[in-house]
């Protein structure tokens, strides 16, 4: 990403070192293909598709994703629970096309929260 930066009276391009988020679309459904086209246009994202029949869970994790998006109808129910437990900081997004819902699971791990901190977590993620 290149930004134009003004320093005093000189304008010059500056290369931004912002890390792109690695988004993996896990599955080969029509809904994921449409999402892939939409997200690939965003310069802050590195988007890649992985067909579950071509790659296993270890293959998926080897890609070191920040976000995994999947169609909830095309995976086993325990899929997201296994990944969240194994990868701290991973965000999973399940798309349910029948209900037009997006379900988000976060791998954020919190420990020893006070009641007030728990309330803040609940309100933040509301």
One digit per residue, pLDDT tens: the chain, 126 residues?
Answer: 555 555 555 555 555 567 889 999 998 899 999 999 999 999 999 999 998 888 778 888 888 999 999 998 888 777 777 777 777 778 888 888 888 888 887 766 677 778 888 778 767 755
Q: Any idea what DSSP says for residue 14?
A: E
Alpha helix segments (H runs only) across the chain: 30-40, 57-62, 79-86, 115-124
Residue 19 tokens, joined: 């890390």
* pTM check: above 0.75: no
Contacts of 29 (CB under 8 A, 6+ apart): 71, 73, 74, 97
Q: Would you state the torsion angle of the CA atoms of residues 72, 60, 19, 4, taken in this order, to the nearest 10 degrees?
A: -70
Residue 70 tokens, joined: 């999947």
């Amino acid at each position: 990403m290149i930004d134009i930066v003004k320093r005093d009276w000189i304008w010059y391009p500056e290369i931004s070192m912002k890390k792109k988020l690695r988004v993996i679309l896990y599955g080969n459904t029509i809904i994921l293909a449409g999402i892939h086209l939409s997200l690939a246009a965003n310069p802050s994202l590195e988007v890649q598709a992985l067909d579950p029949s071509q790659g296993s869970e270890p293959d998926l994790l080897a890609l070191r994703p920040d976000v995994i998006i999947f169609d909830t109808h095309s995976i086993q129910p325990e899929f997201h629970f296994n990944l969240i437990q194994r990868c701290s900081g991973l965000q999973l997004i399940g798309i349910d096309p029948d209900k037009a819902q997006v379900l988000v699971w976060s791998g954020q791990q919190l420990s020893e929260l006070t009641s007030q901190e728990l309330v803040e977590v609940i309100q933040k993620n509301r």
